[in-house]
Amino acid sequence: MSIGPMSMSNGAKKLIFSYVAIVAVVVVLMMVFGLLLRLAQGGWLSMSPQFFYQLLTAHGIGMVGIAALAGSAILWYFLSQYVELSTTILATNLVLFLSGVVFILGATFIGGFGGLWTFLYPLPRLSLSIWSDAAAVTYLVGVLIVGVGFLLFFLDVGRAIISRYGSLGRSLGWPQLFGGDQSEAPPPTVVASTMVTIINVAALVAGAAILVMSIINILIPDFTVNPLLAKNMIYLFGHTFVNSTIYMSIIAVYEILPRYTDRPWKSTKPFLAAWTAATVMVLTVYPHHLLLDFVMPQWMLWLGQIISYLSGIPVLLVTMIGTLTIIHKSGIKWDAASSLLVLSVFGWAAGVLPAIIDATIVVNMVMHNTMWVPGHFHFYLLLGMIAMAFGFMFYLGKAERNREDGAFDRLAVWIYAGGGLTFVFAFLMSGAESVPRRWAVHLPEWMPYDRYGAVCAAVVVLASVWFLVRYISSLWSPVEVRAEATQEGN
Amino acid sequence: MYQSLAWQLTIVLVLLLLALFAFVVSQSGSREEYGPIKDKSSRIRLIVFALLFALVAPLVGFSLTSLPYSAPPNRQGEPEIIDVTGGQWYWIFSSNETTVGTPVEFHVTSADVNHGFGLYDSSMTLVAQTQSMPEYTNVLYYTFTSPGTYQVLCMEYCGLAHHGMITEFTVNPRTTGGAR
């Protein structure tokens, strides 16, 4: 394994570059939206509550969608070494994604929809005429279109994996894990892709079902849904889909760090066991979003807490220790890509800590829906998932365009890491002070945290703009062609 | 109490992780054979798993012994039932006051969309909450230990004036011979 261009068709490569370019642009744009929200909460920017909630809706759905797009680009790029994926489906997903985005942006900024990305039933229909039914339906249809694109994407990934390995059990390494099969297990990328395919097909089907039910509810108000069932379906979809973005993006760590250290990342038995356990746990952990719905069956709430503790451990711990092992005394060359990828594993591991603490029922009672929650998910998304995506972006420039780091690149990584860490602590601090989340107007005593957060967010935006500029400029560099490139494909 | 515990625990654990990563990164400049490093790492992984399980399992078990889903077993006196309805964008209480020491059951529901019933003490610290859901009634058990003016804030996004959904709840000091 060496750092060099991947063997794949020009069309596929162009699509991957397009995916990543869109990711870079949209991530920065969504970060700017987030910065504006923090400025408004801090009283430094005048913004009407209506626009605040529209912007919050766009920020939330935009970040979730673009994280999934980034993860799918990483997954496709590396998985294509092992299985035969459809370039047509890759393109279809992108077209559907962009079409859905048009619907979502139209619904939000023209139609005034501000029901947040979670579209918690029955809020889309009941806004007290703040937004129209048409705006709500347009938003939900937009999300549905994006979801259909990703469903096609994962169905194709599942098809390709089954064609190559025979079954999803085999591609999860079950013969090696349970059957005493001594042959080499499927590579980490295949194992991770299998897990993500299983959880996302389930999540997307649940999401599509509740989206359709919500749309019908708006068009025919007599058609109602049990609100508790709707909540369960929304969080099953939302939690699983967002989590999957990390499980897709972590493939960048499994594939790129071995190339930097010249050390293999193998699917050992603990690795296989961890991913199998995570497959079940990620799908069953979502009740931790419902710990304050006291009418839920209590066993589900117990499960929500217990699995929150357990699900953080297998893949995360195995990956974290694996990362530290592979770089320890490796003579690794530190550049923007490798630094961001190691940062991402730290960000993921550290960000999960406040999340697990919040999943403790007695703690959740006083921290649920406070700023603690965006504190922990920004931690593992900004410093974890998005850092993985930026790391992959730099790697693409290096491997495919022979682009070396400039003087400012590593400094920008430090700025991103420092700004990001202080930014998430602004959220966590205000959460510990009981500041509620998703409030357009803050009390004066809460504003110092918002202002501190806004300054840190501006620092993160600056570093991210630099990453974006570097990536876009790399697209004009000549394509790298190496003789050994063809040896890497199978 | 839980807020500061969560905060302190997070700081300590994040710093420990940061130190661990910084140490390994600082050692990454030289190169050594991978085999022995991997073997050592496998042993460390096993120890970490065992330690985590030994530490976390009892903590999780203990935390599950006192849950907010039913009346506390040591509750004394007749509970005062207060019906609460959340709506866009108001709160309706069957009574907006109680007395220190009286066990209160807030029966919380919603007239329209999902809201969150968040009870803040006079220093604006969140002391208890539950969801305010359409078609369902969540029962929140709480016994006030301090008198004062409490605030009820909406904790679940419910539309345009979500942030304006605030009301007051008064907790009176216990008088001699008053309710317990």
Mutating which of A289, A294, A327 best tests the B interface, going by the most B Cβ atoms within 10 A? A294
Residue written as token pair 């966590």: A428
Q: Is B129 helix (H, G, I), strand (E, B) or coil?
A: strand
Residue B74 in any domain: the answer is no
Cα(A319)–Cα(B27) distance, integer angstroms: 19
**Residue A314: is its pLDDT beyond 90?**
no
**Sheet strands (E) in A214-287:** none
The whole-angstrom distance between A74's CA and the closest CA on chain B is 24
Sign of CA pseudo-dihedral B58, A384, A249, A330: negative
Give me the pLDDT at residue A489, please. Answer: 37
Q: Is B169 helix (H, G, I), strand (E, B) or coil?
A: strand
Mean pLDDT for A357-381 is 96
B89 lies in the same domain as B167: yes
Range of the structural domain that residue B111 is part of: 80-172
Q: What is the pLDDT of residues A323-357, one digit of tens each?
A: 999 999 999 999 999 999 999 999 999 999 999 99
- Across the interface, whether the CB atoms of B69 and A305 are under 8 A apart is answered no
Residues of chain A numbered 162-221 and touching chain B (CB < 8 Å): none
Mean pLDDT for A154-175 is 98
Asked if the bond preceding B68 is cis, omega within 30° of 0, the reply is: no
Cα(A261)–Cα(A335) distance, integer angstroms: 12
Q: Which residues contact A466 (CB under 8 A, 6 or more apart)?
A: A408, A409, A412
Give the tokens for residue B154. Answer: 């909406």
Mean pLDDT for A388-403 is 94
B141 lies in the same domain as B58: no
Q: Are strands B166-172 and B80-87 parallel, antiparallel or unpaired?
A: unpaired
Least Cα distance to A353 among A372, A369, A329 occurs for A372
Mean pLDDT for A302-310 is 91
Give me the pLDDT at residue A482, please. Answer: 52
How many helical (H) and strand (E) elements, i.e. helices and strands, does chain A have?
Answer: 18, 0
Residue B72 in any domain: the answer is no
B154 lies in the same domain as B109: yes
Cα(B157)–Cα(A47) distance, integer angstroms: 18
Cα(A281)–Cα(A307) distance, integer angstroms: 6
B61 lies in the same domain as B143: no
Residue B180 in any domain: the answer is no
Q: Does A358 touch chain B (CB under 8 A)?
A: yes
B24 lies in the same domain as B42: no
Cα B154 off chain centre by = 15
Tell me the one-letter amino acid at B53.
Answer: F
Q: Does B152 touch chain A (CB under 8 A)?
A: no
- Across the interface, whether the CB atoms of B44 and A321 are under 8 A apart is answered yes
Q: Let me know the angle formed at the C-alpha of A253 by A249 and A266, rounded to the nearest 5 degrees.
A: 115
B22 lies in the same domain as B40: no
Residues of chain A numbered 288-317 and touching chain B (CB < 8 Å): 292-295, 298, 301-302, 305-306, 309, 313, 317
The whole-angstrom distance between A150's CA and the closest CA on chain B is 27
Ranges A104-108, A302-306, B50-54, B174-178, most confident: A104-108
Q: Which residues contact A453 (CB under 8 A, 6 or more apart)?
A: A38, A42, A423, A426, A427, A430
Residue B71 in any domain: the answer is no
Mean pLDDT for A94-104 is 98
- Residue B153 phi, psi dihedral angles, 5° rounding: -115, 150
- Which of the four pLDDT bands, split at 50, 70 and 90, describes residue A426? very high
Mean pLDDT for A32-60 is 98
* Homologous superfamily, domain A10-488: Cytochrome c oxidase-like, subunit I domain (1.20.210.10)
Give me the pLDDT at residue A488, please. Answer: 39
Integer-rounded Cα radius of gyration of chain A: 22
Which residue in the set B10, B38, B156 is minimally distant from A354, CB to CB?
B10
Q: What is the pLDDT of residues B2-58, one digit of tens each?
A: 999 999 999 999 999 999 999 999 999 999 999 999 999 999 999 998 998 898 889
Residues of chain B numbered 66-105 and touching chain A (CB < 8 Å): 66-69, 88
Give the tokens for residue A442. Answer: 């803050």
Alpha helices in A166-226 (DSSP H): 168-171, 174-178, 188-219
- Across the interface, whether the CB atoms of B6 and A432 are under 8 A apart is answered yes
Cα(A350)–Cα(A342) distance, integer angstroms: 12
B90 lies in the same domain as B163: yes
B49 lies in the same domain as B110: no
How many helical (H) and strand (E) elements, i.e. helices and strands, does chain B have?
Answer: 2, 9
Tell me the one-letter amino acid at A108.
Answer: T
Q: What is the pLDDT of residues A215-238, one digit of tens each?
A: 999 999 999 999 999 999 999 999
Least Cα distance to A432 among B128, B15, B152, B2 occurs for B2
Cα A486 off chain centre by = 31
Least Cα distance to A393 among A479, A485, A467, A488 occurs for A467
DSSP for A61-86, written as a single string: HHHHHHHHHHHHHHHHHHHTTTS---
Mean pLDDT for B112-127 is 97
Residue B73 in any domain: the answer is no
Give me the pLDDT at residue A483, please. Answer: 45
Structurally, how many domains does chain B consist of? 3
**Residue A486: is its pLDDT beyond 50?**
no
Residue B84 in any domain: the answer is yes
Global pTM?
0.95
Cα(A192)–Cα(A176) distance, integer angstroms: 16
B156 lies in the same domain as B143: yes
**Residue A487: is its pLDDT beyond 90?**
no
- Which of the four pLDDT bands, split at 50, 70 and 90, describes residue B176? low
* B125 contacts in chain A (CB < 8 Å): 366, 433-434
- Which of the four pLDDT bands, split at 50, 70 and 90, describes residue B158? very high
Q: What is the pLDDT of residues B59-100, one digit of tens each?
A: 889 999 889 999 988 888 889 999 999 999 999 999 999 999
Contact A138, A111 (CB under 8 A): yes
Does B143 or A483 have the greater pLDDT score? B143
Residue A406 zone, left/alpha/beta (φ > 0; ψ -120 to 50; rest) = beta
Q: Which residues contact A422 (CB under 8 A, 6 or more apart)?
A: A452, A456, A459
Give me the pLDDT at residue B179, please. Answer: 41
Domain borders along chain A are: 10-488
Residue B75 in any domain: the answer is no
Cα(A124)–Cα(B113) distance, integer angstroms: 9
- Neighbouring C-alpha atoms within 13 Å toward the C-beta of A113: 33
- The pLDDT mean for chain A works out to 95
Residue B61 in any domain: the answer is yes
What separation in angstroms does the CA of A33 have from each of A21, A57, A200, A363, A439?
19, 10, 27, 30, 15
The whole-angstrom distance between B37's CA and the closest CA on chain A is 7
Mutating which of A365, A428, A445 best tests the B interface, going by the most B Cβ atoms within 10 A? A365
B40 lies in the same domain as B104: no
Contact B47, B75 (CB under 8 A): no
* B10 contacts in chain A (CB < 8 Å): 353-354, 357, 428
Give me the pLDDT at residue A2, please. Answer: 81
Alpha helices in chain B (DSSP H): 2-26, 34-63
Q: Are strands B138-143 and B148-154 parallel, antiparallel or unpaired?
A: unpaired
- Residue A421 phi, psi dihedral angles, 5° rounding: -65, -45
